[in-house]
Structure 1
Amino acid sequence: MSATSYLTLITAVSVFTALFAIIYQAYLASNDLRQLTVILQSMKNLEQAFPVNKPRVAIGYGSCSDLYVRAVDFLNFTSSLEKSLHQTTLNVNDITTEDEFLQSFAYYFQRGAAAERYTANKDLFQKLVRQAKKSSKAEPRWALGGNAPVIGSRLATEGAEVMLAAKMSSKLKSHLRPDIHLTGSLIDDDDIHLILEYKTGDEWGTMRTPRANRYILHNDHHNPFISSLEELELALPGFDPHLFVVSGLQMMDNYVYEGGVREERIEKVRNQIQAQSTDTLIHFEMASFVELQLLQLLLKNIVPYSDSIGMNEQELDNLRQVLETGKISLVADSNPRVAQSLDQARYVFGKINEDFFQSHLTDTRRRMLSRIHLHTLAYQAILVAKDSKWNNTKNAAAKASLTAHRHVCASPIVNPDASYRLLDDSFATSTQSGAARIPFSELEPVSCWNETIAINGLKRLDVEICVAPVLICKVAKQTAGAGDNISGAGLILQI
């Protein structure tokens, strides 16, 4: 074969290979789109299977005005910061200076982990807010914030009658749905939360984040005192809620109180929960906690009187760690395997209910934990005790999953072409040897099964577990508030 013929052959093979690769990639993309379309329709069928009968929901506590910015366009990365990140004694939670703030952000950014932190330095916080408002490059925008208003808005949108315990300015109230009954009085100045959002693959200095998430900094003065509690107390008797949601207590994290004030306020929240009818379900929405003493107070005063807990993968790992070792977990795997998460959920469910069975006879107001809702980037997992008051677990998991996409993409429409799936084609139900594997089905995308959880030899509880894939938004528009919207959407179909 001549050199010319040889080159012609090589060229032809190269062209054919390139064309084949293009056609094959197009085939894979087309097949993925078809699968996502089938999955979407199956989950929409589950979401729409049951009507919402306008349940009454009371929710507290607090509100704020959220200031969003694009993190990598707002913050300056310096060589001195890079050096400090290698310190073994780095404290990412005590934020009193700008350097400490940047170190804290960097710690969570490079791990793709959500975080919410308090700074006592009012001057630093106000400086950052002023800079954020002026930074057109960082695309600043304002929104109604706070766990309670966001969960309440989602529940009201889905058809619930909502009573909200929050104090806010008339300006902020104008952003609240008019059909939500606000029990708190008006105030002059709202607490502000500075929300630094980033997308998957965003680069900041030498760091690249593995997933979209957000870092929240605040300097709250109203919310740490749960100042709307007493006004909710006056309104609750005539409302008779089907569900009472407790949220926003992370605003007490790392705040410096004078002599016993925090304990007193948390005890008043406990008393408010205990005053509810046994027919009223209690849901506690977890959040990002870094202060062990506060979590211990919540495990003593709030969790034992709650029927349900909602959390993300970071918060689940933190709660499990505190229950198991008495230590705080600052950060966890931002995209955990299903088996790992379910094992953690089983441990939390078992440990909390172990305490319930040991003490409920002496404290008759305690409630058995009957529901855990875990929301992650890749999937929704809901664990519910059989014969409890929670309904439609499979449907709730599907709705929570679709709501995750809608919120993060900032669109009421779930577009398969704007989505991708991380949940594997099969997953183990536990990390234990011999655990069952669940195959994934496009036509039945939400997998549910029954099992029994032993409560330290005291009792065995039958539970249902449902896992739904999230159709992940390819281009995240917003991550802050996702957990609150997801939790609200899951709750509406279960009460």
Structure 2
Amino acid sequence: MGATSYLTLLTALSVFTALFAILYQAYLASNDLKKLTLILQNLKKLEQEFPVNKPRVAIGYGSCSDLYVKAVDFLNFTTSLEELLHQTSFNVDDINTENDFLQSFAYYFQRGAAAERFTTNKAMFRKLVTQAKKSFNAEPRWALGGNAPVIASRLAAEGADVMLGAKMSLKLKTHLNPDIHLTGSLIDDDDIHLILEYKTGDEWGTLRTPRANRYILHNDHHNPFISSLEELEQALPEFDPHLFVVSGLQMMDNFVYDQGVREDRIEKVCNQMQTQSSDTLVHFEMASFVELEFLQLLLHKIVPYSDSIGMNEQELDNLQQVLDTGKISLVADSNPRVAQSLDQARHVFKMLNEDYFKNYLAEKQRRLLSRIHLHTLAYQAILVVKDGKWNNTKNAAAKASLTAHRHVCASTIVNPDAAYRLLDDSFATSTEYGAARIPFSEHDPVSCWNETIAINDHKQLDVEICVAPVLICKIAKQTAGAGDNISAAGLILQI
């Protein structure tokens, strides 16, 4: 065979190999799409299985006006920033200058971790807001913000009768669902949150983020004082809610108060929780906290009077670290394995309920922690005490999963073509040796099982745990507010 024949054969083999690779990739993509479509169909069946019976839900506290920008387009990277961002000795949460802000943003951005931080520098914050409004390439947009209004809006859209404890301007109120009962009085100027959003793989200089997320900067002056509390207090008895949601307390984190002011306001929140009927379930929505003293105050005054806690993987890790070591955890794995997260959730559940049984006789207003909802990029995990007041756990996990996609994709439709799945084809229920391994099924995508968790030598609690895959949005349109929407969607089917 001559050289020309060899070249012809090699060319033919190369073309065949390339064509085979293309066809094989198309086959895999088609197979993945079929699986995602089947998962979606079965998640929707679970979501729609039970009607919502218009429960009454009261929610506090506060509101704000959110200004969204695309982070990497708003923060122009220059070579002079390179040395600044690679300094190792700086406090990522003490933000007094623009350099502090850039270093803090870079710290969380390169880890793909959500962050919400307060700055004491009012002039700098106003300058950044002004720049953001004019940064047209960063596509600035305004929206109703604050944990409480976002949760309220989602619950109202899902069919709940909602009362919201928040003060806002007349202009901001026009963005609120008119069916929501607003108890707070009108104010002239709203607190503003500057929200810097980024997508998976976004690059800022030499930094690249592993996942879509957001960094929030604020300089609030209304929310840190929970100024809507008293007006909500007056309306609560007549409303008689089935569920009371406490949120937005992170606005008090790292804020400088006169002595005793913060403790007094938290004490009033605590009293509001304690005076709720035993028939009213109480949910505490966690957030990003960086001040150890404040988180310990919440563990003493807020968590013991909560039936349920909602959080993401960063917040769960932070809570566990504080309980175990008395130290704050700034960031955690942004995409933790199921087994790792469930171990953390069990540990937090055990520790908080040990405290409940230890102190219940002395203080009967305390509540058993009977529900934990963990929302991550790849999955939703809900743990509830069996035979209690929380219903439809499997359905709630499915609804939370679908809501995650809808919110991040900014669409009411879940399109399998716009989604992908990170949850493995099987997962371990714990990192402990010999732990059960659960296979994932497209036909039954939400996995649920029963366990018994020993609280102490004399007490144990039977629990149900459900894990649902998230059909992750390929191109994230919005990440801020995702946790609030997800938590609300899970709650609406469980009360």
In the superposition, the TM-score normalised over structure 2's length comes to: 0.99
> Which residue in the other structure is 1:254 paired with?
254
**TM superposition shift of 1:457:** 1.9
* Code of the aligned partner of 2:452: T
> Which residue in the other structure is 1:442 paired with?
442
1:344-367 Cα distance to aligned partner (Å, 9 max, x none) = 000000000000000001000000
1:164-191 Cα distance to aligned partner (Å, 9 max, x none) = 0000000000000000000000000000
1:410-453 Cα distance to aligned partner (Å, 9 max, x none) = 00000000000000000000011111100000000000000011
- 3-state DSSP of counterpart to 1:32: helix
> Which residue in the other structure is 2:302 paired with?
302
Matched residues, number: 495
Conserved in 1, the CA contact under 8 Å of 2:403 and 2:485? yes
* Worse-superposed segment, 205-214 or 448-457: 448-457
> Which residue in the other structure is 1:213 paired with?
213
> Which residue in the other structure is 1:78 paired with?
78
> Which residue in the other structure is 1:471 paired with?
471
1:103-147 Cα distance to aligned partner (Å, 9 max, x none) = 000000000000000001000000000000000010000000000
* Code of the aligned partner of 1:190: D
Conserved in 2, the CA contact under 8 Å of 1:33 and 1:416? yes
* Code of the aligned partner of 1:31: N
Tell me if 1:398 matches 2:398. yes
- 3-state DSSP of counterpart to 1:215: strand
Tell me if 1:374 matches 2:374. yes
Cα distance in structure 2, aligned partners of 1:462 and 1:321: 25
Conserved in 1, the CA contact under 8 Å of 2:120 and 2:219? yes
Tell me if 1:178 matches 2:178. yes
Conserved in 1, the CA contact under 8 Å of 2:382 and 2:465? yes
Cα distance in structure 2, aligned partners of 1:43 and 1:400: 10
Tell me if 1:224 matches 2:224. yes
**TM superposition shift of 1:77:** 2.3
Tell me if 1:407 matches 2:407. yes
Cα distance in structure 1, aligned partners of 2:155 and 2:48: 15
1:324-358 Cα distance to aligned partner (Å, 9 max, x none) = 10000000000000000000000000000000000
Cα distance in structure 2, aligned partners of 1:388 and 1:121: 47
Conserved in 2, the CA contact under 8 Å of 1:357 and 1:458? no
**TM superposition shift of 1:387:** 1.5
Extract unaligned runs of 5+ from structure 2.
Answer: none
- 3-state DSSP of counterpart to 2:449: strand
Cα distance in structure 2, aligned partners of 1:485 and 1:12: 55
Tell me if 1:270 matches 2:290. no
**TM superposition shift of 1:80:** 4.1
Alignment of 1:185-204 (within 5 A): 185-204=185-204
> Which residue in the other structure is 1:289 paired with?
289
Cα distance in structure 1, aligned partners of 2:372 and 2:425: 24
1:39-92 Cα distance to aligned partner (Å, 9 max, x none) = 000000000000000000000000000000000000122344332333332210
- 3-state DSSP of counterpart to 2:294: helix
Conserved in 2, the CA contact under 8 Å of 1:397 and 1:467? yes
Alignment of 1:425-436 (within 5 A): 425-436=425-436
* Code of the aligned partner of 2:98: E
Q: CA RMSD in A?
A: 0.6
- 3-state DSSP of counterpart to 2:390: coil
Conserved in 2, the CA contact under 8 Å of 1:354 and 1:458? no
Cα distance in structure 2, aligned partners of 1:88 and 1:175: 43
- 3-state DSSP of counterpart to 2:9: helix
> Which residue in the other structure is 1:483 paired with?
483
> Which residue in the other structure is 1:88 paired with?
88
- 3-state DSSP of counterpart to 1:462: strand
Alignment of 1:74-153 (within 5 A): 74-153=74-153
Cα distance in structure 1, aligned partners of 2:456 and 2:201: 44
Tell me if 1:237 matches 2:234. no
1:189-241 Cα distance to aligned partner (Å, 9 max, x none) = 00000000000000000000000000000000000000000000110010000
- 3-state DSSP of counterpart to 1:194: strand
Cα distance in structure 1, aligned partners of 2:168 and 2:197: 24
Conserved in 1, the CA contact under 8 Å of 2:85 and 2:102? no
> Which residue in the other structure is 1:455 paired with?
455
Conserved in 1, the CA contact under 8 Å of 2:147 and 2:248? yes
- 3-state DSSP of counterpart to 1:77: coil
In the superposition, the TM-score normalised over structure 1's length comes to: 0.99
Cα distance in structure 1, aligned partners of 2:293 and 2:162: 32
> Which residue in the other structure is 1:54 paired with?
54
Cα distance in structure 2, aligned partners of 1:323 and 1:288: 16
Cα distance in structure 2, aligned partners of 1:488 and 1:235: 22
- 3-state DSSP of counterpart to 2:277: coil
* Worse-superposed segment, 446-455 or 72-81: 72-81
1:297-318 Cα distance to aligned partner (Å, 9 max, x none) = 1000000000000000000000
User: Structure 1 segments of 4 or more deviating over 4 A?
Assistant: none
> Which residue in the other structure is 2:43 paired with?
43
Alignment of 1:299-378 (within 5 A): 299-378=299-378
